[in-house]
Structure 1
Amino acid sequence: MKKTLLILSVLFISLSNAQEIKQVPQISVNGEGKVKVVPDQATITVTVETKGNNAKDVKKQNDQQMEAVLKLIKKMNLNPADYKTQRVSLNPQYDYEKKKSNYNATQTIEILLRDLSKYDELMDGVVSQGINRIDNVVFQSSKLAEYQSEARKLAMKEAKLKATDYVSVLGQKIGRAMTISDNSQSYYPQPVYARMKSMEMSDAGAPRETLAAGEITITANVSVSFILE
């Protein structure tokens, strides 16, 4: 009986201590940091699409056009690691009215353009060599990790400022951080969907400039719990 009472006493003390630990005064806030930067590179996704009623001929035409596109890209001295074939397909399309099959062949290539001054030259070149579908253009920064770090620091500063503002009204101060949660979503640059354009020329005979990259925003979000002093 005495042993049972001793065990119950120890459990009661342990539970009391646990409750005291849980009752540490604290404040939880969110913080957001944003960094706006001018992009210095772009990922371009383009496709050669050919159609016809003979599968072999359609695929052959598609291969020839893509070969010309790749030759142009190599001529522009892009790093071989910066472009790759993304998708290849050859699909039958049955025409129920004419009761026969046609074929649709596509090859998609993704290009990382590290020098945006070559954008118009590249786009006009690939279109002239057989690209007939521009799927999307995504502007991004080569210093993404650096800007993400800056955004995280700004988010922490905002969280600390918020907490300080709230507790100052109560005559209290914030202490050390108890928990920090990163709520940032993976960074996905906003794609710019481009229409197929003809190779327009200016009055002087030079290609027109069609790129307006603007700015991209890199965002970080955190949740922080501070002890109250």
Structure 2
Amino acid sequence: MKKLSALFATFLFALTMNAQNPTAMQTPQISVSGVGKVSIKPDQATITIGTENRGSEAVAVKKENDVAIANIIKYLKKMKIAEKDYQTQRVNLYKNRDYETKQDYFQANQTITIQLKDLANYEELMLGLIQAGANQIQGVEFKSSKEADYQTEARTKAVANAKKKATDYANALGQKVGKAIFVSDESVSYSPRPVMYAAKAGMSADMESLDQTLAIGEIEVSANVSINFNLE
């Protein structure tokens, strides 16, 4: 019984000492962040186009808009764009008022997003969409078909950047970087950043005969990481 009491007293003493000195049980650590970036030339794009029509009769306006959309879809099929690569996003029909003329009118619009897998077809596609009835171009977002590979490369660079920072600090302290004990991915969702410039490299002769309107530029894939390393 006396032995148990002595062990318990020793255990309480150790806990008390550690509570009074929090660093007694801590291993020296360093916490750093790292950033990895990869700039690439995009090879795909998401194009958002739309149709808009106005008139005094709701049915007539909606029908006019529907005809334009039907012609656009026919054109997409003619261009051999897969059905899974285009989708209706919004369909609206509403009554509005022109306050200058004090006349009411109906407005119908619809938007479609198109996944273009070959940028060499951009000029021809856009011209054909407008001829088919599209009267709004709402945006073009550049993408890469090898997004996952570039994300892996960016993450690898982020870790290397973090370890380089930790090594710099450790060297200044006369210590060495040990194993990573905590890793946190701080990356946001993939968001390409366009850097615009005009380029004709690799385009076909037929494409070069058209006026160049697409500035492909580059997109940037980035990764951010926080890592805790032991110090030795």
Q: CA RMSD in A?
A: 2.5
Q: Which runs of 5+ in 1 are unaligned?
A: 193-204
Aligned to 2:148, the other structure's residue is in SS state helix
Distance in 2 (CA, whole Å) between partners of 1:93 and 1:8 is: 84
Superimposed CA distance per residue, residues 41-78 of structure 1 (whole angstroms, 9 cap, x where no aligned partner): 00000010111111001000000011111111100001
Is 2:188 aligned against 1:185? yes
Q: Distance in 1 between matches of 2:100 and 2:128?
A: 39
Deviation at 1:167, TM superposition (A): 1.1
Counterpart of 2:14 in structure 1 is 13
Alignment of 1:1-229 (within 5 A): 10-14=11-15, 16=17, 19-20=22-23, 23-95=26-98, 100-190=103-193, 206-229=209-232
Q: How many residues align?
A: 216
Matched residue SS, 2:173: coil
The alpha carbon displacement at 1:133 in A equals 0.7
Say if 1:163 and 1:174, in contact at 8 Å, map to a contact too: yes
Instruction: Answer yes or no: is the 8 Å Cα contact 2:193–2:220 preserved in 1.
Output: no
1:94-136 Cα offsets, whole Å, 9 max, x none, are 3456554211101100000000000000000001111111000
- Counterpart CA distance in 2 for 1:52 and 1:222 is 55
Whole-Å separation in 2 of the counterparts to 1:43 and 1:220: 23
- Evaluate the alpha carbon distance shift between residue 177 and residue 102 of structure 1 in structure 2; reply closer, same or farther with a 3 A threshold: same
Contact 1:138 1:190 (C-alpha < 8 Å) held by counterparts: no
Provide the secondary structure at the position in 2 that maps to 1:210: coil
CA-CA distance at 1:7 after TM superposition: 6.0
User: Is contact 2:194-2:218 (8 Å) kept?
Assistant: no
How far has the Cα of 1:170 moved from its partner? Answer: 2.0
Distance 1:219 1:168 in 2: 28
Query: Could you state the TM-score of these two structures normalised by the residue count of structure 2?
Result: 0.85
SS in 2 for 1:159: helix
Q: 1:98 to 1:4 in 2, by over 3 A?
A: farther
- Residues 136, 191 of structure 1: 8 Å contact kept: no
